[in-house]
C-alpha cells in the first residue's frame, strides 16, 4: 500500500459523522448506533453464528464481512431478502420469523464489522494497556537507570513524574522510543565577523539555516556564509532506536507505566 | 514526435481511418524515446534517463522558468506524457491536455467519483486514444484530441475495496492495467485490454488458483489464497526483444497479520515476468516472502544491459520498499545481487535464491515490534533512475523506524493492525548495481522524501529535497550543482522533452506545473 495513504485518509475522517446503512467503501467516518450493533451481535450469534462464525468472518458458511452482498447492501435492501428467505439451494435456512427490528440490528452489526475491517489500518488511541504490558517493570527500571542512559536527560521524579497519567498507554510507548519528530532542535550560528546567534531551528537544509531567537525574532543565513552547530536533544533517542530490543522497549514501558 | 514514413503507413493500417494524423504509434514505443515522453516512465526500460543534453552541467545555472500552469485541486502526482507538443497529465478524477510550449490548457476532463483519491500516476496513449484509471476503479478511454469519452468500464468492484491509481502500459495492441486497494482482502490482478474496445484479452491474478504452481505457498484448505491481496499499483516495464513485461506486485492480505496465510504467499511482493500476449508467467522473484509490513514490491523494475567478460547481460534492477536492492537476470529471473541500501532489522538472512527471509519475531505484535523500515518503506512509488553514463542506479531512500502493532482480535481481516512511525531521514542513494553498495548518498532532510528522480545525458540528476528545494546533482558524485526553493513539495517524478529544439524539464510542484528551460536564444 502506498505511503501516507492511511494517514491522509484518517485526517479526512475528522469532522465527518452521521450514519446511514450505506455501502461502506469510500465513505467517511460512520458512527454506528452502538446499542443496535450490540443487539445485532447477540442476535447474529444465536441465529447465524453457528455457520457464519460469531464475528461473521465465516465458519462452515461464508465470511460475510468480505461478502459482495454485505458491501453492496444499503439499509438491508440486499441482506434482508437473503436472511428472510434463506438459500435453500446452498443449505441456508430461511429466517422468516425474525422481527423487522431484529433484522435491522443484524444488518447494522454486519455493516459495523465490515467497516471495522476496512478501517483496521490504525492503532486506536484507547488501545488496551493490557496488550502492551508484557514487559518487566523491574528490568525496565534497571535499563532506565543503567544501559539505556535515560537518566542523563530524564528523571522519574522530575520531567517524567506522573507521565503515565499524562499520556495514553499507546502514546507513552511510542514516545518513550522517540518523543516527537520535529521542533526540538536548537542551533548556534556564528557569522564571518564572529557574532553568535542562538535559537530554535526554524528551517535547516543544505542551503540555508533559520532560527528564532529567545526574543522571538527570526534570522536566516546562507549556510555557505556561517558556521552552524546544531543541538539535537533527540540524537540519543535516535541512537537508542537502533540498539533497542523489543524486550527493552516493553520493559521500559512497563516501568514508565508505573509513574502515575 | 517524429515518425518514419514506413511506421506511419503501418500505423495507418492498424487504426481506424481518420485517426492517424496525430497521436502515438505504438510501434514507436519499441525504440527508446529521445525528444518525447510517451509513457509513464518515458520509455519501456523504466530507467528514466533522457538522452537530451541541451541542459547540462555547463549551463545548469542558467536554467530558468519557461512557463507555469496551475490546476485546481490536489497535488499532481502523475508523470505527464508529452506527444506531438501536447502534455497529458492527471490528478484523481482529472485529466488535462496542455500545450507543452506554453502550459496553456487545451482541454480538461473531470469525472467525479467515489473511492480512494490517494493519487493518480498518469495516462497511457495508443494512437489518438488515452487510457485513464479512476478512484472507483474504472478505466476510461478518452479521445486525446478533445478529452471526450470513448468508453468507460469497471475494472473491479469498488464496493469490495478496489480502486485505481496507476498509469496503464501500452504494448503493441495491448493496454495493460493494474488495480489498487489493500484495505480489504481482495485479490490483485493485471489485465490486458483491446485498445479499441476495452475487451479483456487476458487477466493474470497475483494469486495462483488452488493446485497451480505457487499455491503451495499458501495454507491449504482455507480461503486465504482467495483473499490474498497483491495489488498492481505501479506501471511495469517491457523488453521487446524478450517479449516479456515486468511488474512488481503488492503486499499480501491481511496486511499486518500473516498467521492465517502462513507460507511465502506467492506471487505477492514479487517481481514477475509475463508474456504480454498471453499473460503467462515466465518467471518470478520475491523480494519479500511472507510480507507482514506492507512492503509491496511495486517499485519500478528497471531494465538495462551490460557486458560481463564480453557477454551481454540483460539485467533488471529494483530498489525495493523493504530496504533491499536486487539485480536479476531478466531473461531467467535468476538472482545476481541482493544488498540492503539502508539498515534493516527484519531479515534473518538471504537464501540461495537471493531472497531475504523474514524474522518471525519482527512480525507485528499486539505489544509492538520495532522494525526498520516502517510501513511507508525504505523507498516507495517515487521513480528511481538508471544512468548508463555513470553506471549508477538512483533511488529516493529513507531511514525509517516504526513500531508495528497487530491489533486484531479474532480472525484478522483487512489491515488488522498498523505501525506508528518514530522517525525518518531521507537521502538520494546512488547504488553501484554490480555490488549493490551505495556509492554516495545525498541527504535530503528529515521526514520522508516524496520526489522521484530523472537523469539526463547532460550529466544531471534532478530531484527535490524535503525542504521544497528542486535540485540538480552531479550523478557521479552527488554534489549539488543547482537548486531553487519553490515553496512546495515535488510529490511526483520529473520528466523532460524537447520541443522546437529547446529542452524542457517539467516538475509538478503541488498543483502547479513548472517547465524549466535555458533562456531562449533570441
> How does pLDDT run across A60-112, given as a tens digit for each residue?
999 999 999 999 999 999 999 999 999 999 999 999 999 999 999 999 999 99
Are B258 and B301 spatial neighbours (Cβ–Cβ below 8 Å)?
no
Are A121 and B376 spatial neighbours (Cβ–Cβ below 8 Å)?
no
**A246 → closest Cβ in B343, B370, B421:** B370
CA–CA distance, B270 with B249 (Å, rounded to integer): 5
pLDDT of residue B23: 87
According to the 3-state scheme, what is the secondary structure of B199-253? CEEEEEECCCCCCCCCHHHCCCCCCHHHHCECCCCCCCEEECCCCEEEEECCCEC
Chain B residues with beta carbon closer than 8 angstroms to that of A238:
423
Burial of residue B97, with CB atoms counted within 10 A of its CB: 0-12 exposed, 13-18 middle, 19 or more buried: buried
Task: Give the percent of chain A with pLDDT over 70.
Answer: 88
CATH topology of domain B5-12+21-214+226-517: Methanol Dehydrogenase; Chain A (2.140.10)
**Which backbone phi and psi does B11 adopt, to 5 degrees?**
-65, -40
pLDDT digits (tens, 9 = 90+) for B148-168: 999 999 999 999 999 999 999
CA–CA distance, B81 with B500 (Å, rounded to integer): 17
Are B91 and B78 spatial neighbours (Cβ–Cβ below 8 Å)?
yes
Q: Pairing state of beta strands B49-50 and B454-456? A: parallel
Map grid coordinates 490483485 to a residue: B188
CA–CA distance, A92 with A60 (Å, rounded to integer): 11
pLDDT over 90 (residue A13): no
pLDDT of residue A181: 60
CA–CA distance, A1 with B381 (Å, rounded to integer): 10
Q: Do A3 and B401 touch (CB under 8 A)?
A: no
The answer for residues whose C-beta is within 8 angstroms of residue B415's C-beta and 6 or more apart is A6, A120, A121, A122, B182, B183, B254, B255, B256
Q: Does domain A186-231 have CATH number 3.40.50?
A: no
**B227 → closest Cβ in A26, A66, A234:** A66
Q: Which of these, B376, B422, B374, B368, lies nearest to A237 by C-alpha position? A: B422
**Which backbone phi and psi does A34 adopt, to 5 degrees?**
-60, -35
Beta strands, E only, chain A: 186-191, 196-204, 208-212, 218-222, 226-231
User: CA gyration radius for chain B?
Assistant: 22
Q: Do A132 and B445 touch (CB under 8 A)?
A: no
Output the CA–CA distances (angstroms, integers) from residue B426 to B379, B380, B491, in the order listed. 9, 12, 14
CA–CA distance, A184 with A241 (Å, rounded to integer): 17
A42-49 average pLDDT score: 94
Neighbours of B148 (CB within 10 A): 10
Are B420 and B405 spatial neighbours (Cβ–Cβ below 8 Å)?
yes
Chain B residues with beta carbon closer than 8 angstroms to that of A22:
none
pLDDT digits (tens, 9 = 90+) for A242-258: 999 999 999 999 999 99
Are B53 and B458 spatial neighbours (Cβ–Cβ below 8 Å)?
yes
pLDDT of residue B521: 79
Are B327 and B309 spatial neighbours (Cβ–Cβ below 8 Å)?
no
Chain B residues with beta carbon closer than 8 angstroms to that of A58:
223, 411
Beta strands, E only, B253-373: 271-274, 281-285, 302-308, 311-319, 324-329, 335-340, 347-350, 356-358, 369-371
Q: How far is B370 from chain A (nearest CA, A)?
A: 6
Q: Do A178 and B401 touch (CB under 8 A)?
A: yes
**B405 → closest Cβ in A25, A55, A123:** A123
Average pLDDT, rounded, for chain A: 88
Angle (deg, nearest 10), helices A34-47 and A100-118: 100
A145-174 average pLDDT score: 96
The answer for residues whose C-beta is within 8 angstroms of residue B409's C-beta and 6 or more apart is none
Q: In what helix (H) or strand (E) does residue A39 lie, and over which residues does it extend?
A: helix A34-47
Chain A's closest residue to B158, CA to CA, is A25
Helix (H, G, I), strand (E, B) or coil at A237: helix
Map grid coordinates 534517463 to a residue: B49
Chain A residues with beta carbon closer than 8 angstroms to that of B377:
3
CA–CA distance, A21 with A77 (Å, rounded to integer): 10
Q: Do A119 and B183 touch (CB under 8 A)?
A: yes
Are B190 and B169 spatial neighbours (Cβ–Cβ below 8 Å)?
no
pTM here is 0.92
Are B14 and B356 spatial neighbours (Cβ–Cβ below 8 Å)?
no
Output the CA–CA distances (angstroms, integers) from residue B508 to B48, B85, B111, B395, in the order listed. 16, 18, 21, 19
Low-confidence ranges of chain B (pLDDT < 70): 1-21, 522
Are B64 and B516 spatial neighbours (Cβ–Cβ below 8 Å)?
yes
Q: How far is A197 from chain B (nearest CA, A)?
A: 22
Assigned C-alpha cell, B108: 480538461
CA–CA distance, B274 with B227 (Å, rounded to integer): 22
CA–CA distance, A143 with B440 (Å, rounded to integer): 37
Interface of A with B in 63-122 (CB under 8 A): 63, 65-66, 68, 71-72, 117-122
**A118 → closest Cβ in B114, B410, B414:** B414
pLDDT of residue A51: 95
Q: Is the Cβ of A4 closer than 8 Å to some Cβ of chain B? A: yes
Assigned C-alpha cell, B396: 529516493
Chain B residues with beta carbon closer than 8 angstroms to that of A13:
none
CA–CA distance, B513 with B461 (Å, rounded to integer): 19
Using left for φ > 0, alpha for ψ between -120 and 50, and beta otherwise, residue B168 falls in beta
Chain B residues with beta carbon closer than 8 angstroms to that of A67:
none
Q: Do B367 and A132 touch (CB under 8 A)?
A: yes
Cis peptide before B254 (omega within 30 of 0): yes
pLDDT over 50 (residue A31): yes
**A177 → closest Cβ in B370, B380, B448:** B370
Q: Does domain A5-118 have CATH number 3.20.20.100?
A: no
Are B205 and B187 spatial neighbours (Cβ–Cβ below 8 Å)?
yes
Map grid coordinates 524535503 to a residue: B466
Catalytic residue positions of B, numbered: 294
Enter the ipTM: 0.91
Q: How far is A191 from chain B (nearest CA, A)?
A: 23
Q: Which of A11-20, A38-47, A132-141, B22-31 has the lowest mean pLDDT?
A: A11-20
Are B382 and B463 spatial neighbours (Cβ–Cβ below 8 Å)?
no
pLDDT over 80 (residue A197): yes
Map grid coordinates 536479476 to a residue: B328
CA–CA distance, B451 with B427 (Å, rounded to integer): 11
pLDDT of residue A30: 84
A202-221 average pLDDT score: 97
Helix (H, G, I), strand (E, B) or coil at B299: coil
Q: Is the Cβ of A130 closer than 8 Å to some Cβ of chain B? A: no
pLDDT of residue B13: 38
User: Where are the domains positioned within chain A?
Assistant: 5-118, 129-180+236-256, 186-231
In degrees, rounded to 5, the angle at the alpha carbon of residue B119 between the alpha carbons of residues B425 and B1 is 105
Q: Pairing state of beta strands B356-358 and B105-110? A: unpaired
Burial of residue B357, with CB atoms counted within 10 A of its CB: 0-12 exposed, 13-18 middle, 19 or more buried: middle
Looking at chain A, the number of H-run helices and the number of E-run strands are 12, 5
Neighbours of A154 (CB within 10 A): 15
Burial of residue B44, with CB atoms counted within 10 A of its CB: 0-12 exposed, 13-18 middle, 19 or more buried: buried
CA–CA distance, B442 with B179 (Å, rounded to integer): 33
Q: Is the Cβ of A53 closer than 8 Å to some Cβ of chain B? A: yes
Q: Which of A113-127, A192-206, B89-103, B283-297 has the lowest mean pLDDT?
A: A113-127
Assigned C-alpha cell, B247: 511488474
Q: Which of these, A80, A231, A47, A233, lies nearest to A150 by C-alpha position? A: A233
Amino acid at each position: 500500500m502506498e505511503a501516507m495513504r492511511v494517514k491522509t485518509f484518517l485526517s479526512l475522517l475528522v469532522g465527518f459523522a452521521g450514519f446511514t446503512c450505506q455501502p461502506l467503501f469510500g465513505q467517511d467516518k460512520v458512527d454506528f448506533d452502538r446499542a443496535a450493533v450490540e443487539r445485532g451481535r447477540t442476535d447474529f450469534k444465536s441465529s447465524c453464528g453457528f455457520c457464519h462464525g460469531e464475528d461473521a468472518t465465516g465458519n462452515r458458511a461464508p465470511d460475510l464481512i468480505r461478502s459482495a452482498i454485505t458491501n453492496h447492501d444499503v439499509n438491508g435492501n440486499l441482506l434482508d431478502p437473503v436472511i428472510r428467505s434463506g438459500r435453500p439451494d446452498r443449505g441456508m435456512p430461511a429466517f422468516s420469523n425474525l422481527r423487522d427490528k431484529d433484522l435491522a440490528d443484524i444488518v447494522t452489526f454486519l455493516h459495523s464489522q465490515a467497516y471495522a475491517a476496512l478501517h483496521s489500518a490504525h492503532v486506536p488511541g484507547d488501545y488496551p494497556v493490557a496488550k502492551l504490558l508484557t514487559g518487566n517493570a523491574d528490568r525496565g527500571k534497571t535499563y532506565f537507570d543503567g544501559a539505556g542512559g535515560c537518566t542523563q536527560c530524564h528523571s522519574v521524579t522530575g520531567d517524567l513524574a506522573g507521565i503515565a497519567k499524562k499520556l495514553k498507554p499507546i502514546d507513552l510507548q511510542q514516545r518513550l522510543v522517540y518523543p516527537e519528530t520535529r521542533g526540538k532542535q536548537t542551533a548556534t550560528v556564528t557569522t564571518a565577523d564572529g557574532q553568535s546567534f542562538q535559537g530554535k531551528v526554524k528551517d535547516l537544509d543544505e542551503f540555508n539555516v533559520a532560527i528564532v531567537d529567545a526574543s522571538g525574532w527570526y534570522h536566516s543565513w546562507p549556510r555557505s556564509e556561517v558556521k552552524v552547530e546544531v543541538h539535537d536533544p533527540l540524537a540519543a533517542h535516535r541512537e537508542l532506536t537502533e540498539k533497542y530490543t523489543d524486550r527493552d522497549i516493553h520493559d521500559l514501558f512497563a516501568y514508565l507505566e508505573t509513574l502515575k | 514526435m517524429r515518425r518514419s514514413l514506413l511506421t506511419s503507413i503501418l500505423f495507418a493500417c492498424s487504426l481506424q481511418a481518420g485517426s492517424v494524423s496525430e497521436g502515438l504509434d505504438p510501434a514507436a514505443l519499441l525504440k527508446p524515446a529521445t525528444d518525447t515522453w510517451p509513457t509513464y516512465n518515458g520509455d519501456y526500460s523504466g530507467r528514466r534517463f533522457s538522452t537530451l543534453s541541451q541542459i547540462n552541467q555547463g549551463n545548469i545555472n542558467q536554467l530558468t522558468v519557461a512557463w507555469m500552469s496551475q490546476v485546481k485541486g490536489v497535488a499532481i502526482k502523475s508523470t505527464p506524457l508529452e506527444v506531438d507538443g501536447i502534455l497529458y497529465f492527471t490528478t484523481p478524477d482529472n485529466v488535462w491536455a496542455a500545450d507543452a510550449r506554453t502550459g496553456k490548457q487545451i482541454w480538461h476532463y473531470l469525472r467525479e467519483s467515489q473511492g480512494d483519491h490517494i493519487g493518480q500516476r498518469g495516462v497511457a496513449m495508443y494512437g489518438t486514444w488515452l487510457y485513464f484509471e479512476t478512484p472507483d476503479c474504472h478505466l476510461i478511454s478518452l479521445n486525446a484530441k478533445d478529452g471526450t469519452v470513448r468508453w468507460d468500464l469497471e475494472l473491479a468492484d469498488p464496493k469490495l475495496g478496489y480502486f485505481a491509481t496507476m498509469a496503464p502500459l501500452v504494448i503493441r495492441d495491448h493496454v495493460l492495467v493494474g488495480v489498487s486497494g489493500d484495505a480489504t482482502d481482495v485479490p490483485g490482478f493485471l489485465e490486458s485490454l483491446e485498445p479499441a474496445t476495452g475487451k479483456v484479452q487476458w487477466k493474470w491474478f497475483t494469486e495462483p488458483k488452488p493446485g497451480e504452481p505457487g499455491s503451495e505457498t499458501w495454507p491449504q484448505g482455507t480461503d486465504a489464497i482467495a483473499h490474498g491481496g497483491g495489488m498492481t499499483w505501479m506501471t511495469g516495464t517491457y523488453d521487446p526483444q524478450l517479449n516479456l513485461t515486468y511488474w512488481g506486485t503488492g503486499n499480501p492480505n491481511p496486511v499486518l497479520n500473516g498467521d492465517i496465510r502462513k507460507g511465502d504467499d506467492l506471487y505477492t511482493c514479487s517481481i514477475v515476468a509475463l508474456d504480454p500476449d498471453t499473460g503467462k508467467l515466465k518467471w518470478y522473484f520475491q523480494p519479500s516472502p511472507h510480507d507482514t509490513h506492507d512492503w509491496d514490491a511495486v517499485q519500478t523494475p528497471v531494465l538495462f544491459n551490460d557486458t560481463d567478460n564480453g557477454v551481454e547481460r540483460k539485467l533488471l534492477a529494483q530498489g525495493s520498499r523493504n530496504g533491499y536492492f536486487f539485480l536479476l537476470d531478466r531473461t531467467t529471473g535468476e538472482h545476481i545481487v541482493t544488498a540492503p541500501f539502508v539498515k534493516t532489522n527484519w531479515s534473518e538472512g538471504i537464501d540461495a535464491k537471493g531472497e531475504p527471509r523474514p524474522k518471525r519475531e519482527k512480525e507485528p505484535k499486539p505489544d509492538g515490534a520495532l522494525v526498520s523500515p516502517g510501513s511507508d518503506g525504505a523507498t516507495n512509488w517515487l521513480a528511481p533512475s538508471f544512468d548508463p553514463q555513470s553506471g549508477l542506479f538512483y533511488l529516493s531512500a529513507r531511514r525509517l523506524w516504526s513500531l508495528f502493532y497487530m491489533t486484531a482480535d479474532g480472525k484478522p481481516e483487512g489491515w488488522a493492525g498498523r505501525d506508528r512511525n518514530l522517525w525518518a531521514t531521507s537521502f538520494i542513494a546512488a547504488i553501484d548495481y554490480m555490488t549493490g553498495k551505495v556509492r554516495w548518498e545525498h541527504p535530503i532532510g528529515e521526514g520522508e522524501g516524496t520526489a522521484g528522480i530523472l537523469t539526463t545525458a547532460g550529466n544531471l540528476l534532478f530531484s527535490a529535497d524535503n525542504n521544497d528545494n528542486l535540485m540538480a546533482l552531479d550523478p557521479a558524485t552527488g554534489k549539488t550543482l543547482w537548486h531553487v526553493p519553490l515553496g512546495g513539495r515535488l510529490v511526483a517524478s520529473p520528466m523532460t522533452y524537447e520541443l522546437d529544439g529547446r529542452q524542457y524539464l517539467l516538475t509538478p510542484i503541488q498543483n502547479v506545473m513548472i517547465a524549466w528551460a535555458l533562456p531562449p536564444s533570441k
